[in-house]
Amino acid sequence: MFIQTEATPNPATLKFIPGRLVLDGGTMEFANRESAARSPLAEKLFGVPGVTGVFYGSDFITVTKDEGDWQHLKPAILGAIMEHYMSGAPLIADGTPASDELADEEGEFFDESDAETVEQIKDLIETRVRPAVANDGGDITFRGFKEGIVYLNMKGACSGCPSSTATLQHGIQNLLRHFVPDVVEVRPI
């Protein structure tokens, strides 16, 4: 098994590509060891000293570290990922769906009179923003729309990334304002 690694715009996060499907749909984020209890792989990764976050995309895993050096952490992370896939263990141990998309949709907020605008925003995020952000090892999902402000949830490499503010304000905000005149601003939630 050959696992590729890619740098992300976030220097504290590295993208690992195992060359096979990671999640069948959606994304999953583990921000601490307790939340990782659902996933044997995430638990193993949190067992590597210095790992502070794990994120699963469709075909990649991003790992976030503290101040540790990638040169020391990378071999242990690669070993944990390889060991997991070679063992045949499930990604999610408790049998619950791997996708956190439903949780995202349940937490959405917007006025019903803005439903058409929200659909346009969601479509642009789904078709133009999320694929680009996934290339960088992260994900961005719609959370809400109120008084012209779009609220987005940033996950994986995007969470805590030094360039995330620029991505939001210059990239995503400009894109949405261009296609949806009701959008005034974009903020992380």
pLDDT at 114: 93
Q: What does the alpha-carbon distance between residue 151 and residue 153 come to, in Å, rounded to a whole number?
A: 7
pLDDT at 54: 95
Specify the pTM: 0.77
Indicate whether 156 and 107 sit together in one domain. Answer: yes
**More reliable by pLDDT, 93 or 117:** 117
- Identify the H or E element spanning 14: strand 13-17
Indicate whether 172 and 116 sit together in one domain. Answer: yes
Domain total of the chain: 2
Q: Is 94 inside any structural domain?
A: no
pLDDT at 15: 95
Band of pLDDT at residue 101, cut at 50, 70 and 90: very low
Percent of the chain with pLDDT over 70: 91
Indicate whether 182 and 120 sit together in one domain. Answer: yes
Sheet holding 149-156, edge to edge: 109-110, 138-146, 149-156, 185-188
Indicate whether 20 and 62 sit together in one domain. Answer: yes
Sheet holding 61-65, edge to edge: 4-7, 13-17, 61-65, 51-56, 28-30
**More reliable by pLDDT, 167 or 123:** 123
Indicate whether 10 and 43 sit together in one domain. Answer: yes
Q: Is 156 inside any structural domain?
A: yes
Helix ranges restricted to H, 33-187: 40-46, 70-87, 101-106, 115-124, 130-135, 164-166, 173-179
Q: Is 181 inside any structural domain?
A: yes
Residue 145: give the domain boundaries. 101-188
How many other C-beta atoms lie within 10 A of the C-beta of residue 89?
13
Q: What does the alpha-carbon distance between residue 162 and residue 185 come to, in Å, rounded to a whole number?
A: 19
Residue 123 is classified by DSSP as H
Residue pointed to by tokens 């570290």: 65
